[in-house]
Amino acid sequence: MLSQAAVSVFPHEIYKAPRSWAERAYPNLVYFNEVDWAITSLPGRNRRCLPPRSAPRSGHCASGAPRSFTARLTARSGCCHSPRMGLGERVRYQTSFTDSARWDGFVFRPGDIVISTPAKCGTTWLQMICALEIFKSAAFDRPLDQISPWLDVLLRPLTGVLADLEAQAHRRFIKTHTPLDGLPFDDRVTYLCASRDPRDVAVSLDSHTSNTDRAVSLALREDAVGAVVLDELLAAAPSLPSGTARERFWSWVNPAAPGKTVSDLEIMLHHLDTFWQVRDQPNIVLLRYEDLLDDLEGQMRYIAARLGIAITVTAWPDLVQAATFAVMKGRAGEIAPEASHDGFYHDPRQFFHSGSTGQWRQVLSEEELPRYAARVAECAPADLAAWIHRPALPAAGNL
């Protein structure tokens, strides 16, 4: 039995915890190291723990702690967030084209809405629904990506994005693909998230990647933030997917360099897990893409109720119609994300690729499902995996 203990930080072996957690595990704690930030090597994108603007900094517990203690700190191996968001340090997510540190410059207002979803899980759909319900009209005075900007994408100067948001007099709704543990948490703000069958996400993302012009994206990034550290980030990023559709699917499920892009299976499931852990909080709204497809009006009414927005009975039919896949695809030039940038897409309408479920069956056989299930089991708790996948996955097989 230890008479005294010290908790400190070792590079690449970091578990986030308040000092009180360490004290419960080590009653005779004599030293607790606190740091301004630390780079982690945990699964996910390049991730740095950032001190929040308003909460006191928390320390970290080295991995020399007893396994039972470290298990209590994390919902699953590799997760770098505490069970209650908004305490301790935020995680910085950084890729070649995104940086969650841009949230540091944003000041929340009561009633703000943050739409935080993994890529290709219905982000634009939720933005459209919020716009329709807030404005109570299907007519907008600007493209959707300017009304509801993607705050952490490096395609516009941050000063301009923040100025546009500050000038908005209506209820604001901001897009992000950053998990909840990378966002400032404010009890006055509602956080929306949507899940989708990851297998369909892989197929949809594959179509999206082939439809965007990388040269245009790089030029926009350089104009917005310059080329500083770009070469370093690009060198660390995986090469663009290649091979057959099936090979590209498995590259997304089990990439050579996981967590180095906006989306792969591991970062998607981690993102959902950050919401899953706090899904009972009053300002957390967790949805399913498939439920939006099955009952759009019912889900829109549910979202309005959670946001405290009153819609007249006579207004609902037009608002629901405007949020259908076909109508949104017909308005792709004003609704698709970043479509206000000339040349960003080869075809903006192709962003709305299918709007259906089960696309993955075109590339994945039933015999391969146990292999996929094994990878999911590595990345997500069983209850979350079961909630996402309906019908349930088969027993995990060999990777």
Q: Is 122 left (phi over 0), alpha (psi -120 to 50) or beta?
A: left
Q: What is the pLDDT of residues 80-130, one digit of tens each?
A: 333 344 445 899 998 888 999 999 989 999 999 999 999 999 999 999 999
Q: What is the pLDDT of residue 42?
A: 38
- The average pLDDT across 373-396 equals 94
Maximum C-alpha span of the chain: 70
Q: Which residues contact 361 (CB under 8 A, 6 or more apart)?
A: none
| pTM for the predicted model, two decimal places | 0.77
- The average pLDDT across 241-254 equals 87
Residues 26 and 86 grouped into a single domain: yes
Catalytic residue (one of 81, 177, 270, 353): 177
Of 77, 94, 111, the position where a domain reaches its end is 94
Q: What is the pLDDT of residues 308-318, one digit of tens each?
A: 999 999 999 99
User: Would residue 353 count as lying in a domain?
Assistant: yes
Could you tell me which residues are beta bridge partners of residue 287?
194
Is 177 part of the annotated catalytic residue set? yes
Sign of CA dihedral 103, 109, 110, 113: negative
Q: Contact at 8 Å (CB) between 240 and 209?
A: yes
Q: What is the pLDDT of residue 22?
A: 52
DSSP three-state, residue 292: helix
Of 33, 64, 94, the position where a domain reaches its end is 94
Nearest to 95 by CA among 43, 153, 53: 153
How far is 171 from 134, CA to CA, in rounded Å? 7
Q: How many domains does the chain have?
A: 2
Residues 138 and 41 grouped into a single domain: no
- What whole-number percentage of the chain has pLDDT above 70? 69
Pick the more confident residue, 13 or 1.
Answer: 1
Q: What is the pLDDT of residue 24?
A: 53
Cα angle: 345, vertex 160, 137; to 5 degrees: 65
Pick the more confident residue, 15 or 110.
Answer: 110
Q: What is the pLDDT of residues 207-221, one digit of tens each?
A: 656 666 778 878 888
Q: What is the pLDDT of residues 40-73, one digit of tens each?
A: 333 444 444 444 443 332 322 222 322 222 232 2
How far is 299 from 160, CA to CA, in rounded Å? 33
- The average pLDDT across 172-184 equals 97
Give the HSE-up count for residue 315: Cα atoms under 13 Å, Cβ half-sphere. 14
User: Would residue 34 count as lying in a domain?
Assistant: yes
pLDDT band at 39 (very low <50, low <70, confident <90, very high): very low
Give me the amino acid identity at 77: S
Residues 71 and 105 grouped into a single domain: no
